Amino acid sequence: MLRVWRRFFVITLALGLLLRGCPGVCATEAEKRPDLLLAGVYGWDERQNPSDYWVSEKYDGVRATWDGERLRFRSGRLVAAPRWFVEGLPLCALDGELWLGRQGFARLAGIVKKKVPVDDEWRQVRFMVFELPGAEGTFTERIEQLRRRIDAAGLPWLKMVEQFRVADNKELRQRLDETVRLGGEGLMLHRAEALYHGGRSQDLLKVKQWLDSEARVIAYRSGSGKFEGVLGALEVETSEGRRFFLGTGFSAAERRQPPALGSTVTYRYTGLTASGLPRFPAFVRVRQEF
């Protein structure tokens, strides 16, 4: 009888947690969200000196962190990577991007979101690492530590992101234009003398030809002319409540099957108008949740 009552107590407690939203379970998951360094935006301000930074390509991939035991998305959720992919990774924290190549984000997202990994697909994926979270020393010192650890691991899918220096904004612009011309997304600047810390900071900056942001889809506008019968534009709303239309950047397939109402999309733009609306906004993609 005592054993029966124990079982009843355990089941009742479990159901209570579920009905209350599983606070204990959710708190545990939340604690696993890594405290990563997040990028600000480079403003091309004459007071900013790019020679103070290491420069690298901004990879259009899926951010992932390795804690020495498990591979996680930025959200803290586990990545369902094949065992062979993570076996042999260094026994230290790594921060980087899962990457499939330039302009390969859509295919990559389909691969890494699967709960059951497909080996042949993962053979194409690279873990491009750019940081040693929590390590001591300046960024210059950390990238040397990182280089040694990646070389020692000897895994063909584990790569160190190339870091280089530029002299001034003119050279930075030239490198940015070259990267974009070759199909890249942009550049990243990491302050050479910065010690490691989490949170958004000017110690890490993204450099792009276009600015980008996100907004929620609230309505559709029908197309006309060559877009008769398909999507003409999305009406979207920013987190600040500003509404505008996205009418460019869509593929033919996306016009036939546009992003769902309520979904969040990424758009690019060249700056803001006097009223605070984006100039020349263009659709990029639906935001993927990882």
Dihedral, 109, 113, 114, 120 alpha carbons, nearest 10: 40
CB 182 within 8 A of CB 102: yes
Q: Which of 117, 34, 124 is nearest to 73 (CA)?
A: 34
32 is catalytic: no
Q: Where are the alpha helices (DSSP H) in 133-245?
A: 139-153, 169-181
Cα→Cα distances 99→74, 120, 128, 183, 250, Å: 14, 15, 7, 14, 23
CB 263 within 8 A of CB 84: no
Task: Output phi, psi for 12, to 5 deg.
Answer: -65, -40
CB atoms within 10 A of CB 147: 13
Nearest-5° Cα angle at 222, 221 to 223: 120
CB 189 within 8 A of CB 171: no
The SS3 call for residue 77 is: coil
As given in the structure block, the two tokens for residue 163 are 């870091």
How is the beta sheet containing 37-41 ordered, strand by strand?
A: 37-41, 199-207, 186-191, 53-58
Of 32, 58, 115, 159, the active-site residue reads 58
Q: Which helix (H) or strand (E) holds 30?
A: helix 23-31
Please identify every residue annotated as catalytic.
Answer: 58
